[in-house]
């Protein structure tokens, strides 16, 4: 066991921000040191978020048909990915979808639409949906994610009751133009800044696995720290067939865990959300990752399916956490009754005609 990550956690807890070399060190740990990194990051997580997990739910208001060319995105211009494509949901459909997420245990609803950015009419449409949603569910926290914002749109969303605005920087400035050419890194930063200045909580994160270097991952995290992003979704590339990044498999579960730990150490008091690609890339390390990150999406993503929502809640409970904002009794059954079931009897392999489970 090495003490250096424990010492790093001590320093961060004492108020000394992590330096870029510390972040690189975390990314480059050996497997022998991985649990030390997790333990150090977990101390910061516990200090700022205790045993809570924030549960977010995505509603894709408008899917596919985007004119932009983000290489990682299944909704991009020219994408051959076989995804759902539809134009704006009707307000009652959007509210019904959001209500399903709330019933499932989410406290934040993320209302997302594909596209370069909203028209003023689109902003009014979303403002109406948010108003209606908040009337039915006054405690819900709403994050809008509608693309690049024009002057005045963030203020309109804030006035309508939107709490947060998501616009990911996605990757380092030095890597941005390799993954998208139809808008600039500065455009993205401008939207995050507009949201923040309008009083919306800025939510901006990244996608790992886009062919970036370790240094570029660190660059992106420090940029998010400087931008003051309150919540940082960390996505892991899901390389859809039919997109330019089809077949890009650069991530391992351990790598994902290190990236999350690095994010926690660089931004100790910010919401670190395990976002798209959680199941695909963290796989059996999802539970360990919760000791570092403090937020997840429940259920499905924008264009891909996640694991069953009940499995997400079980993941939280099994690792000793509670859903932020949930009734604690409902969140953590004391007798485990909600998750126990009779063992499934073996009916294959030895003693049967059916192939073994191997």
Query: Candidates 35-43, 64-72, 84-92, 199-207 — which segment interacts with ligand SF4 by CB under 6 A?
Result: 64-72
The correct pick among 70, 102, 149, 285 for binding ligand SF4 (CB under 6 A) is: 70
Q: Which is nearer to ligand SF4, 85 or 225 (CB)?
A: 85
Q: Which is nearer to ligand SF4, 53 or 206 (CB)?
A: 206
Cα separations in angstroms, 140 against 100, 161, 163, 309: 12, 10, 9, 18
Does 68 bind ligand SF4 (CB under 6 A)? Our answer is yes
At its nearest, how many Å lie between ligand SF4 and the CB of residue 62? 9
Structure tokens at 208: 């790992």
Structure tokens at 314: 């079980």
At its nearest, how many Å lie between ligand SF4 and the CB of residue 104? 24
At its nearest, how many Å lie between ligand SF4 and the CB of residue 204? 13
Question: What angle (nearest 5°) sits at the alpha carbon of residue 152, between those of residues 147 and 155?
Answer: 90
Q: Which is nearer to ligand SF4, 114 or 231 (CB)?
A: 114
The correct pick among 18, 55, 58, 73 for binding ligand SF4 (CB under 6 A) is: 73
CA distance 81 to 84: 9
At its nearest, how many Å lie between ligand SF4 and the CB of residue 111? 14
At its nearest, how many Å lie between ligand SF4 and the CB of residue 270? 22
Q: Which is nearer to ligand SF4, 116 or 283 (CB)?
A: 116
| Residue 73 assigned ligand-binding role | yes
CB 58 within 8 A of CB 301: yes
At its nearest, how many Å lie between ligand SF4 and the CB of residue 251? 19
Residues 122 to 181 in contact with ligand SF4, rule: CB under 6 A: 147
Query: Candidates 2-10, 73-81, 199-207, 346-354 — which segment interacts with ligand SF4 by CB under 6 A?
Result: 73-81
Query: Candidates 10-18, 66-74, 129-137, 152-160 — which segment interacts with ligand SF4 by CB under 6 A?
Result: 66-74
Does 114 bind ligand SF4 (CB under 6 A)? Our answer is yes
At its nearest, how many Å lie between ligand SF4 and the CB of residue 117? 8
Query: Candidates 29-37, 62-70, 262-270, 291-299 — which segment interacts with ligand SF4 by CB under 6 A?
Result: 62-70
Q: Which is nearer to ligand SF4, 240 or 321 (CB)?
A: 240
Residue ranges of the binding site for [2Fe-2S] cluster:
110, 143, 203, 273
Residue ranges of the binding site for [4Fe-4S] cluster:
66, 70, 73
Q: Which residues bind ligand SF4 (CB under 6 A)?
A: 66, 68, 70, 73, 75-76, 114, 116, 147
């Amino acid at each position: 066991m090495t003490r250096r990550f424990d010492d790093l956690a001590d320093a961060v807890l004492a108020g000394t921000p992590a330096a870029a070399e510390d972040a690189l060190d975390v990314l480059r740990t050996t497997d022998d040191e991985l649990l030390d990194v997790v333990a150090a990051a977990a101390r910061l997580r516990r200090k700022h978020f205790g045993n809570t997990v924030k549960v977010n739910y995505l509603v894709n208001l408008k899917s596919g048909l985007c004119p932009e060319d983000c290489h990682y995105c299944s909704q991009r211009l020219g994408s051959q990915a076989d995804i759902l494509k539809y134009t704006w949901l009707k307000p009652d459909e959007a509210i019904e979808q959001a209500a399903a997420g709330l019933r499932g245990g989410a406290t934040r609803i993320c209302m997302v639409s594909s596209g370069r950015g909203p028209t003023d009419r689109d902003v009014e449409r979303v403002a109406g949906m948010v108003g209606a949603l908040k009337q039915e569910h006054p405690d819900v926290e709403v994050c809008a994610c509608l693309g690049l914002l024009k002057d005045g749109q963030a203020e309109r969303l804030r006035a309508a009751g939107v709490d947060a605005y998501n616009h990911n920087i996605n990757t380092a400035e030095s890597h941005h133009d390799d993954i998208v050419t139809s808008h600039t890194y500065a455009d993205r930063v401008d939207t995050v800044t507009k949201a923040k200045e309008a009083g919306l909580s800025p939510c901006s994160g990244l996608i790992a696995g886009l062919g970036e270097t370790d240094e570029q991952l660190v660059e992106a995290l420090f940029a998010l720290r400087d931008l003051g992003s309150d919540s940082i979704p960390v996505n892991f590339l899901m390389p859809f067939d039919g997109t330019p990044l089809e077949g890009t498999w650069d991530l391992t579960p351990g790598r994902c865990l290190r990236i999350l730990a690095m994010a926690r150490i660089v931004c100790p008091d910010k919401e670190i959300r395990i976002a798209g690609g959680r199941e695909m890339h963290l796989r059996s390390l999802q539970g360990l990752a919760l000791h570092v990150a403090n937020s997840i999406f429940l259920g499905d993503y924008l264009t891909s399916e996640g694991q069953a929502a009940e499995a997400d809640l079980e993941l939280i409970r099994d690792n000793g956490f509670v859903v932020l904002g949930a009734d604690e009794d409902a969140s953590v059954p004391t007798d485990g009754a909600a998750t126990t079931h009779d063992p499934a009897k073996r009916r294959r392999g030895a003693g049967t005609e059916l192939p073994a489970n191997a």
